[in-house]
Amino acid sequence: MARSGWVIGLGTGSTAYYAVEELGRLMREEGLLIAGVPTSHASEMLARTNGIPIKTLDDVERIDLAIDGADQVDGGKNLIKGLGGAHTREKIVASFADLFVVVVDDSKLASRLGLGVPVPLEVISLAVPAVTRRVQKLGGQTRLRMAHPAQAHGGPFITDQGNFLMDASFDEIPDPRSMERELNLIPGVVDNGLFTQIAATILVGSGKDGSVSIIE
Ligand code: DER
């Protein structure tokens, strides 16, 4: 899929991990020459470990291809992302890419977004109470995401940008495009984990037999 000379957006999470490892292998074993724009500190470290040269958005005029996972996908190629906490940078990088390809297994498919999966919101910390009330007006309930117990600092989860994360649960989201806009209109929300009208292709792996289907 990747060609020499390309700049590739490197997603975050357990699925993107395999993509970054494979790009590293192609560079080492098959002479592929690429550069990567990471979407998190974690993906930057993984790329460096795999020998992929790192670029920032300052360094490149365009990104040829961005590859990432997702937490939920509907039939219209709308996504919920950010359960790993990196959706703000993931959306910036994806929006800069000529082609945004999403890789999921079929457990991530849903008839409607929001069913059982919350929408992550990256939030400036002082805005947490105000965001809670505004999300309630949109029909949702929020929870402040806490750091993993193994993280030394404890307390709230802190994003790579130094902000808090709130997870907003809705019964379902009938109009993801308008919800993405509404959530981003709340003062203090940096960005939300709804990705609408941005994914070009979804590759869906079957949990049963490993076959791959394509949503285009
Ligand atoms: O948090 C994120 O945005 C991740 O990219 C997520 O969408 C996919 O993570 P996974 O591949 O570990 O399920």
Architecture in CATH for domain 119-190 = 2-Layer Sandwich (3.30)
Q: Which atom of ligand 1 is nearest to the CA of 80?
A: 7
Q: What residue ranges do the domains of the chain occupy?
A: 7-109+196-215, 119-190
169: pLDDT strictly greater than 80: yes
Please name the helix (run of DSSP H) or strand (run of DSSP E) that holds residue 201, with its range, or none: strand 201-205
Distance (Å) from CA 136 to ligand 1 centroid: 25
Instruction: Please choose, from the candidates 164, 15, 131, 129, the residue with its C-alpha nearest in 3D space to the C-alpha of residue 79.
Output: 15
**Span 56-72, pLDDT tens digits:** 999 999 999 999 999 99
Nearest to 101 by CA among 77, 72, 82, 120: 77
Q: Separation of 93 CA from ligand 1 center, angstroms?
A: 14
pTM for the full predicted model: 0.94
Instruction: DSSP letter for 54, please.
Output: B
**Domains 7-109+196-215 and 119-190 alike in fold:** no
d(CA 30, CA 57): 27
Reply yes or no on whether the pLDDT at 1 is more than 80: no
Q: How many CB atoms lie within 10 A of CB 182?
A: 17
Distance CA 2, CA 104 (A): 18
CATH code of the region 7-109+196-215: 3.40.50.1360
198 forms beta bridges with none
Q: How confident is the model at residue 152 (pLDDT cuts 50, 70, 90)?
A: low
What share of the chain in percent tops pLDDT 70?
Answer: 98
Q: What is the mean pLDDT of residues 209-213?
A: 90
pLDDT at 159: 96
The secondary structure of 146-187 as a DSSP string is BPPTTSTT-SB---TTS-EEEEEE-S--S-HHHHHHHHHTST
Predicted confidence band of residue 210 (pLDDT cuts 50, 70, 90)? confident
Per the annotation, the verdict on 216 as an active-site residue is: no
160 lines ligand 1 (CB under 6 A): no
Q: Which of 90, 122, 180, 182 is catalytic?
A: 90
Give the β-pairing of 189-192 and 119-123.
antiparallel
